[in-house]
A and B are shown apart, each in its own frame.
Chain A
Amino acid sequence: MQQAGKFSSLLQILFLAMSFLVYQPLANASKEEAFNVGEMIMHHIKDAHEWHVAGEGKESISLYLPVILHDNGFKCFSSKHFYHGKESQVPSSDSTAYHYLEGVGPAKGYALYHEKIYKLDQIGTANGQPVYNLKFHGEHPHNAMPTDLSITKNVASLIFGSLLILIIMLSVARFYKRNGAVAPKGLAKFFEPIIVMVRDDIAKANIDQHKYHKYVPYLLTIFFFIWINNMLGLIPILPGGANLTGNITITLFLAVCTLLVTVLSGNKNYWGHIFWMPGIPVPMKIFMIPIELIGILTKPFALMIRLFANITAGHIIVLALISIIFINKNIAWAGLSVPMALFISVLEILVAFLQGFLFAMLSALFIGAAVEEAHH
C-alpha cells in the first residue's frame, strides 16, 4: 500500500516535470519584436553565467552564479554585476549594432558578450569617470580575455549531478552493507536491476569472462553519469535544464577517459593487431599501421560526437517545436506544437537512457577488444 503511494507521488512529480517542460520555453521566448528562433535556441543550448528560471531582461528570476577570473590575481564576484550592469552597444561596419553587457561594481572593466568575458579598453574619460569600450572586428570582439574559471551553468549542473549520483549510490551501498545480500528495498530496489544490467549485459557480454570485473566500476560510472545528467537536462527548471551532456567538452572528457582505459589496458595481442596485423601479406601489414592508428582515435571521437549531437539535437527539437507558436504568432498552433514537443520529450527520456547505455556498451566493446587473448 505504501509502495503504491510512493509510486503515484513519483508519477505526479513526473507529470509536473513534463508540464514545466512545455511552459519554460514560453516564458523565455516571449520577445515581441522580431523573434529569432536560431538565436533563442542557441542561447538555450549554450553555457551561461546565470541559471535562468523565468522572465525577461532585468526583471527575470535567475540564479546568478559566481564569476571567477584569473587576471593579475583571482577575482570573484556574482554574475549579477553583468546581468544587472550597463547595456552597451557598438555600431559595427555592416550597420548592425552589437549589444553587450558592461560590468558594474566589482565587475567594472569587464564586459559580457555572448556569455564570454572580455577585458574592456579605456578609451577616454567623461565627467571624471573612465569610459570603456569593446572593439569589434567583424563579428568578434578583439579585446583581451581573462582566464575564466567561473562556476557556469554547466559546471553548477555537473556538481549537482555528481552529488546526486553520490547520494544515490552511497545510500544504495549502505543498504547492502547493513542488510547483506537480501531482497532490496527502496532506492536499492530500483537501482539493483540497472547495476546488474550494466554488469551482465554490458561488461560481461563484451569483455573476457576473467577480466571484466576490473572494468565494471568504470562502466557503471560512465553509464550513471550520462544517464542521470541526461535526465537532469530534460527537467527545464532550476536543478536541471543545463545542456551538460550536450556540451562537447564534457563528451570529449568522457571519450578521452574511454580512450585512456582502452589504450592502457591493451595487451600484446591488441598492439600486435595494430602494428603487425596477422594473416595478411607484408605490404598490407605496413599499409594497415596508419589506418589502425587512426582507428584508435576515431572510435572515441565517434563516441564524443554521438553523445553531443544526440543530446543537443534533442534540446533543439523541443525548443524548435515550441517556437512554432511564436513564429506564427498564434496560440492555436499550440495544439500542434505542444503535443509534438511532449512526444519528443517522452522520446528523449528513452534517448537519455539509450545514450548512456550505448556509451557504456561501446566503451565495453573497445575495452573487450583491447584485452582479448589471441585465438589459435
Chain B
Amino acid sequence: MTGMFGSIAAIGAGLAVLGAGLGIGRIGGSAVEGIARNPEAAGKIQTAMIIAAALIEGVALFGVVVGLLGAKA
C-alpha cells in the first residue's frame, strides 16, 4: 500500500512539473521575444520574467511538497 502511495505521489509531482514547465516555457519565450523587439528594455523584462517564473515555480513546488508528503505517508 505504501508503495502505491509512492507511485501516485510521483504522478502528482510529474503533473506539477508539467504545468510549471509549460508556464515557465511560455514566460521565457515571451521574454526573449520582447527583448528581441526592444533590446533596450532587456533589464526590466528580465526582472519581470524572473518574478513571474518564481510565482509559477511556487505553485509547482506546492505540488512537489504535497507529492513528498504523499510519498512519506
Contacts and interface: CB of A to CB of B under 8 A. Distances in A.
Contacts of A365: 51
B47 interface: yes
A354 B64 contact: no
Given A358-B54, A362-B54, A305 B47 contact: no
A119 B14 CA distance: 42
B54 A309 contact: no
Contacts of B47: 201, 205, 361
A310 B61 contact: yes
Interface in A359-375: 361-362, 365
Interface residues of A, number: 16
A309 B57 CA distance: 10
A358 B51 contact: yes
A302 interface: yes
Contacts of B15: none
A306 interface: yes
Given A302-B58, A306-B57, A306-B58, A313 B51 contact: no
Interface residues of B, number: 12
Contacts of A358: 50-51, 54
Given A201-B47, A205-B47, A305 B62 contact: yes
Contact of A309 (B50, B51, B65, B71): B65
A216 B64 CA distance: 33
B51 A362 contact: yes
A310 B59 CA distance: 12
A240 B22 CA distance: 35
Main secondary structure of the interface of B (DSSP, over half): helix
Contacts of B62: 305, 309
Contact of A305 (B50, B61, B71): B61
A305 B54 contact: no
A302 B58 CA distance: 6
B32 to A, nearest CB: 18
A354 B50 contact: yes
A354 B53 CA distance: 11
Contacts of A205: 47
Interface in B48-73: 50-51, 54-55, 57-58, 61-62, 64-65, 71
Contacts of B57: 306, 310
Interface string A22-40: 0000000000000000100
A365 B64 CA distance: 26
B58 to A, nearest CB: 4
B51 A305 contact: no
Interface in A58-72: none
A357 B58 CA distance: 15
Contacts of A306: 54, 57-58, 61
Contacts of A362: 51, 54
Contacts of A302: 55, 58
A205 B43 CA distance: 12
A172 to B, nearest CB: 25
Contacts of B54: 306, 358, 362
A302 B51 CA distance: 13
A317 to B, nearest CB: 11
Contacts of A354: 50
Contacts of B51: 358, 361-362, 365
A313 B58 contact: no
A309 B71 CA distance: 15
Nearest to A358: B54
Interface of A: 38, 201, 205, 302, 305-306, 308-310, 313, 354, 357-358, 361-362, 365
Given A305-B65, A357-B50, 17 more contacts: A38-B71, A205-B47, A305-B58, A305-B61, A305-B62, A306-B58, A308-B65, A309-B61, A309-B62, A310-B57, A313-B64, A354-B50, A358-B51, A358-B54, A361-B47, A362-B54, A365-B51
Which 5 pairs across A and B sit closest by C-beta, in order of nearness? A309-B61, A306-B58, A358-B54, A302-B58, A309-B65
7 contacts: A201-B47, A302-B55, A302-B58, A309-B64, A310-B61, A354-B50, A362-B54
